[in-house]
Chains A and B, each alone.
Chain A
């Protein structure tokens, strides 16, 4: 009959090995480095940021608790109002164009043609190259005195006076929007292309036989099937654009006259430029509720689309 040989059983596996055999302990060990890094450098600063924002700290001067004073000041700060408007406008316009142009490019790339692999590799370059560096190229292109765009339009007889791209408030906003779209279209295009490639060509062919014209086919078949990928791409893009810093910092620094200041650049100017740490932190944190709202809304939408 069965002899209970518990001792022999236990002696076979050394204690540490047995511990790691347990899924839960192994998971703990595997997740520990990540948890430490993210805890130390995301969670901790986040809470420090909240604490900073409710003090009046400056560089070199630890502050005292002042409650919501910083936020109240922001609420009445005309520059901050401009910042909020700028950021929302910037994000909305660029996202719409990036989606439209990216989709168009993805549809163009969704055929087979010679050199497709090269084209696909090359058009990602704006997204790969460090933003600051490519933005400088644009800044040079937009420079009021030496702009090549001005040269081109002058010689095409579109204009006869120079366009002060970066010196005029509205034009400066248009400039940074253009650069952001330029940089983002490849990301949208490649992601949407991947989404398109998961849609079986049979569906479009069946619809064509059924009599649907290209635009109808797109609207009734391609677009709904593409929606999940689209929503995820838009979500990422919106977050990145909302928190954008590099393009504005290089192109305009926030000017002229705060016409292109975004949350990030204003926070930088306040916190690092003038040393008003707590006010800078408050501006940064002000991003969070709006971002959170956008994320939640989009995630819910994605969840609903996927269930459907």
Chain B
């Protein structure tokens, strides 16, 4: 059990700057999730922690040790790969025992550790089988078991659930969480799926193009995204963005574009003062939009025309056009509506997000 510190980490592949100035401290026993689109540098960072890639500059510390020059086998870490990477010519038992054998543990100890890990994961009956005889979920468990037996300081996960079908993925997510609660080992988890990030992480790191966009607890990222990218990445369906002009009308601030006119609540007005007369990007989450009723004041409502109706059972996703922009609203499933119908939608004024048009940073 140890903390992992990344100090000024950079990685260059020839002239490509893949990872840029990453500074991070992952606390002992923390489950840290790295999330971001393909090519954002999250996997590269993970591989540098593992020792599979060398850092171009910066230091990595595991526990109190600088591990930059240590080969993977000396870093006391374990990794679970996307493709499980089970040794095909060995039985499940030998797969799990391999790491211990390499470290010259005695046979009795090996057997005990493997049995223990197998019990935790529920795969005791599979110990004699070969990987090709196992299902995807079973293979994933063996991969986990291989990591557990080593009792390492840090677990590293490289998109371990991506190869599983949707249902299995949900199941394994829950199991992973339970596992972490039980073992308490520091973990670094890489994924492109923001749902996994939100549900599994104690804290989440959002990366893009090699830069860290934001670090924080899942709810923090959801409620207070640091920039437009994080806002659009976290949450599904994605946040709606449209550009509006800030207008001052007798001391009150209003947002105006071709399709709507909304009043800025007093709490946010201070921040937008300096943007009067200019455009800002407005963000509204689909789940914060609902069909307006008579009690909603005019400053929180706008008109929309329905384009597509997606009935999910638990909610309805409406693709609507507002002026010359389109948005998605997640509304109550009991709504009866059809295409081309005109609706009046309301938004919770405290759930408005604002971003600078050029820098995309949150205002």
Contact = CB atoms under 8 A, between A and B. Distances in A.
Contacts of B70: 9, 12-13
A21 B66 contact: no
Nearest to A5: B65
Contacts of A2: 5, 59, 61, 64, 66
B64 A9 contact: no
B71 A5 contact: no
A215 to B, nearest CB: 44
Q: Which applies to chain A's interface (DSSP): helix, strand, loop or mixed?
A: helix
A3 B66 CA distance: 8
B249 interface: no
A29 interface: no
A17 to B, nearest CB: 8
Contacts, number: 24
Given A2-B5, A2-B61, A9 B67 contact: yes
A61 interface: no
B341 interface: no
B71 A4 contact: no
A9 B71 contact: no
Interface residues of B, number: 11
A230 to B, nearest CB: 34
Contacts of B66: 2, 4-6, 9
Interface string A1-43: 0111110110011000010010000000000000000000000
B65 A13 contact: no
Contacts of A5: 64-66
B69 interface: yes
A21 B5 contact: no
Interface string B65-80: 1110111001000000
Contacts of A18: 71
A2 B69 CA distance: 16
Nearest to B3: A2
A13 B71 contact: yes
Contacts of A21: 71
Interface in A202-261: none
Contacts of B5: 2
Given A12-B70, A13-B71, 20 more contacts: A2-B5, A2-B59, A2-B61, A2-B64, A2-B66, A3-B64, A4-B66, A5-B64, A5-B65, A5-B66, A8-B65, A9-B65, A9-B67, A9-B69, A9-B70, A12-B74, A13-B70, A13-B74, A18-B71, A21-B71
Interface of B: 5, 59, 61, 64-67, 69-71, 74
24 contacts: A2-B5, A2-B59, A2-B61, A2-B64, A2-B66, A3-B64, A4-B66, A5-B64, A5-B65, A5-B66, A6-B66, A8-B65, A9-B65, A9-B66, A9-B67, A9-B69, A9-B70, A12-B70, A12-B74, A13-B70, A13-B71, A13-B74, A18-B71, A21-B71
